[in-house]
Amino acid sequence: MPIPNTITRTLDLAHPQAKVWGALTTLDGITSWFGSHADGEMTPGHDVHMRWEQYDDGKRTLAIKVLDPMSVFAFCWGISGAPEGDPRQTYVEFALEPTASGTRLTVTESGFAQLPDEWLEPSYQGNTEGWRSELDELASYLDAA
């Protein structure tokens, strides 16, 4: 079965959009569920440098692309498993919409089709599992906050 170009996850969260938005688009918010440290500017055209202590101080740069308040937050980042300096990136978008009980969050990561075969499956599967885990952490963070 061919591996798709896109990972999509949708969560219905029992929290107002403003609370979800803050967890996604502030340095304090994003480090409460996604990484352990972040610095930079959450503004389109700027970078946020993230670090994950729990993953041997793994580092990633989020190139902020879209910040449409209460609606869409998006960034590009390097591909897991790519050699240092490889310019290919995937595009990650968080789309929020109000629901009767809170907020529907749809997370889409696209760009896997550009990968060579030897990276494709491990990168796609790793990110699929990664988003499952990270979004569970987001839901737990929002429930506890």
Residue 83: inside a domain? yes
Q: Is the pTM of this model over 0.75?
A: yes
Quote the pLDDT of residue 58: 82
Residue 1: inside a domain? no
Residue 63: inside a domain? yes
Is the separation of the CB atoms in 121 and 81 below 8 Å?
Answer: no
Write the pLDDT tens digit of every residue in 16-71: 999 999 999 999 999 999 988 999 999 999 999 999 887 666 889 999 999 999 99
Residue 105: inside a domain? yes
Structural domains in the chain (count):
1
Residue 91: inside a domain? yes
Determine the structural domain holding residue 27 and report its residue range: 6-144
Q: From residue 27, how far is each of 9, 57, 65, 91, 101 by CA, in Å? A: 22, 17, 16, 19, 26
Write the pLDDT tens digit of every residue in 57-111: 688 999 999 999 999 999 999 987 777 888 999 999 999 999 999 999 999 999 9
Write the pLDDT tens digit of every residue in 122-135: 889 999 999 999 99
Can you give the CATH number for the domain in which 96 is found? 3.30.530.20
Write the pLDDT tens digit of every residue in 18-30: 999 999 999 999 9
- For the chain, the distance separating the N- and C-terminal CA atoms, rounded to the nearest angstrom, is 41
